[in-house]
Structure formats: C-alpha cells, structure tokens
Amino acid sequence: MGLVGLAWVIFGGMLEPMWVIGLKKYSEKHSVFWFIFTVIMMYASPMCLAFAMADDMSVGVAYSIWTGLGAVFAMLVGIILFKEKVERIKILLVLMIIAGVVGLELSTVVA
C-alpha cells in the first residue's frame, strides 16, 4: 500500500461528511447551490475511496479508514457548525474509532 492511496482515502474520509452537511443545508434552504454541492460531494468522496483502492490498498482497510474518518469528521462538524452537545462518551467512542483506524493501518505495514 502506498502513501498516495492513504492520502486519497484520508481526503475522501474528510469529504464524506461534506455531503451530509449539504443534505442538511439543502433541507433547510432548498437552494440550487446546496443541491449541486451535495451531489458533487456524494460523487467525490467515494471516488477518492476508489482511487485509494486502485493504489493497491485493500478493500477492507480502505473502507474502514474512510468510514471511520467520515464518522470522526461528521461528529466534529456537528459540534462546530451545528452546536451539538459534546459528551464524554462521544469523545471516548471517537477515540476508539481513531485507535481502530490507526491499528488497521499499522497492521498492513507490519504484515
């Protein structure tokens, strides 16, 4: 697995919550901008995942990193943009997701 694949999957994981934000904004405003933004993000994020797997990253590791990062970033966006409540249990569980993602990445380097 190369660093290019890892960069693609990280970038795609960061883009994943963007389409969720677009959906929320579109449901509030019904503007053409948010519709187009959402569609672009819904296409761009999985394409980054596909590029990562094309760089010889295994499907299971790539998808796990992509969804894990998407979950972490979605929670952070919810806290920052939508003023969602920060709870200790949420922080603990997100740290567990991060530990799992790092563990998956390390397992492929060691193997």
pLDDT of 23-79, one tens digit each? 989 999 999 999 999 999 999 999 999 999 998 888 888 898 898 889 889 888 889
Give burial (CB, 10 Å; 0-12/13-18/19+) of 2.
Answer: exposed
Residue 111: which pLDDT band, with cuts at 50, 70 and 90?
Answer: low
CA atoms within 13 A on the CB side of 67: 7
pLDDT for the residue numbered 39 = 96
The pTM of the full predicted model, rounded to 2 decimals, is 0.82
Count the helix, strand and coil residues of the chain and give each as a percent rounded to the nearest 5: 85, 0, 15
Residue 65 burial (CB count, 10 A): 24
Residue 1: which pLDDT band, with cuts at 50, 70 and 90?
Answer: low
